[in-house]
Amino acid sequence: MESHATIAWITCRDHDQAVLIGRSLVEEQLAACVNILDGMESIYSWQGTLETARECVLVAKTFSHLSERLTERVVALHSYDVPCVLFMPVTGGNPAYVDWMKTGTGGQV
């Protein structure tokens, strides 16, 4: 099975949690890089109630073959019962950057 570049979209309760999770993903080579986007507001239904929350988005650059391990790591570190971890395939981009991503994730693609 061929692995391809992937973006993981992860929501966190706050900046500190995003830093904790993001650092772990990069240190463990589950992501080559993460971006933390503060100040997101979410509106969602949880257990039958409409909720609004300030959250932080963590965008992780990774590869599809790492998605299961990355998800498991986020779930282990996250405070939410059901953390958002979604993957979006990358369909193009700077080849040199994708090569750099390979290095940052251990070179196994």
Residue 2: pLDDT band (50, 70, 90) is confident
Beta-ladder partners of 88: 7
CB neighbour list of residue 32: distance below 8 Å, 6 or more residues apart: 26, 61, 62, 100, 101, 102, 103, 104, 105
Residue 107: pLDDT band (50, 70, 90) is confident
Q: Are 5 and 94 in contact (CB under 8 A)?
A: no
Per-residue pLDDT tens digits for 54-94 = 999 999 999 999 999 999 999 999 999 999 999 999 999 99
d(CA 77, CA 66): 17
Per-residue pLDDT tens digits for 3-15 = 999 999 999 999 9
Domains in the chain (CATH in brackets) are: 5-104 (3.30.70.120)
